[in-house]
Amino acid sequence: MDRKWKLGELCYIADVHIARAEMRFRVMPARVLHVAGVSRTTATAYSANPPWRSLHARCEPFTQGCPFPDRWSAFIHVWREMRRNSISVFKSIRFEGTAPEMENLPADVPQLGQIVYGIDIEAQEVFEAQIGYLRYEYGRLEIGYDESPGNPEASNVRIQKWWSSREAAETYMLETYDMQLPFVSKEELATRTDARIDKIWSDALARVKSPEFQASIGALWITSTNVT
């Protein structure tokens, strides 16, 4: 759905399961526990299965799915899936499940797309980045920044400690390690990332065009022809 979901938002999910052993159609109260993407946001919501939910509940304590803003929207989605599969048992749509609680969540959790500042000890630098994903799972918060927003080949990198300002990050380094590190802006970080990705592709292309690789391909083709 075209909506900017936030971590922790309450919502509903549509659980549709069609198999020989079981057919399940449910609308479930849920909570968004995973959001990702700076330019195009994706979100995943989770709902706790009721304890009496036979084998499914015992094997899978949570059901996950695409979040819907209200119960009616999720209901319509389930109904359309039933029609698409020629199933007209309206009473089979159940309303069950519980939205999981979020405990021990820090008060300063950044939002998706927010600018934060981190410290790369290995590279010896303070960097600026944009939050690319947030995930809350089994009481543990995981946050990552997008190395190059807008580049689908770039990765999200997990960050364990972040600051809301450059000054705060630099002050931490001075007070904790008595060090002053160079600063890398988010634009420079993205340029580095893009260059690194481009080099991977250019090196691969050079390898494919190399005489050694062409010779090995030719030998492989001859071998396969003889075998045939």
pLDDT tens digits, 151-187: 989 989 999 999 999 999 999 999 999 999 999 999 9
Residues 128 and 200 reside in one and the same domain: yes
- Looking at the domain assignment, is residue 55 inside a domain? yes
In a domain, residue 199? The reply is yes
pLDDT band at 117 (very low <50, low <70, confident <90, very high): very high
91 in the same domain as 22: yes
33 falls within a domain: yes
Task: Tell whether 219 is covered by a domain.
Answer: no
* Residue range(s) defining the domain that contains residue 18: 10-95
147 and 183 in a single domain? The answer is: yes
Separation CA 65–CA 42 (nearest Å): 11
How many structural domains does the chain have?
2
90, 140: one domain: no
Q: Do 87 and 155 fall into the same domain?
A: no
The reply to whether 18 and 49 lie within a common domain is: yes
User: Model pTM?
Assistant: 0.78
Distance, in Å, from the CA atom of 186 to the CA atom of 21, rounded to the nearest integer, reads 51
